[in-house]
A and B are shown apart, each in its own frame.
Chain A
Amino acid sequence: MSQTHFPAYQNELAKYFKTEKQQQFSTNFFTDAENYEVWDEIDFSNLKEVDGQNTFTIKAEDFKFYAEGCLDNNPYMTDEEFAKKSPYGRLVPHPLFTTTICFWCVGIKGSGSWIRTPGARNPGQYHEYYEDFEVGETIHIKMRPYDRYEKRGKCYLQYKIDMYNQDNVLKASTISTLILPRTREDIRKFLEGIRGLKD
Chain B
Amino acid sequence: MEKITFESLKTGTALEPVAHKVGQETFWKNAVASFDYNPVHNDAEWVKTAMPFKIPKTVGHGMMTMSFMTSVVTNWAVPAMLRVSKITSKFTKPVEQEWTVTCTGVITEKHYISKGKNFVVVEVKAENQDKELLGISQVEVVFPD
Query: Which residues of chain A have a CB within 8 Å of any CB of chain B?
Result: 5, 7-9, 12-13, 15-18, 21-22, 25-30, 65-66, 68-72, 74, 76-77, 86-88, 92, 94-96, 99-100, 103-104, 115-130, 132, 190, 193-197
Contact = CB atoms under 8 A, between A and B. Distances in A.
A109 B84 CA distance: 32
Contacts of A128: 85-86
Contact of B50 (A94, A118, A123): A118
Nearest to A69: B33
A125 to B, nearest CB: 5
B118 interface: no
Contacts of B49: 193-195
Interface residues of B, number: 52
B51 A195 contact: yes
Contact of A74 (B1, B54, B78, B89): B78
A178 B37 CA distance: 15
Given A121-B53, A122-B61, A100 B89 contact: no
Contacts of A197: 52
Interface in B28-59: 28-40, 42-46, 48-54
A124 B34 contact: no
Contacts of A72: 67, 71, 74
25 contacts: A9-B43, A22-B35, A69-B30, A70-B30, A72-B67, A74-B75, A74-B78, A77-B74, A88-B81, A94-B70, A94-B74, A99-B35, A99-B63, A103-B35, A116-B37, A118-B40, A119-B40, A119-B50, A119-B52, A120-B40, A120-B52, A124-B135, A126-B87, A126-B88, A194-B49
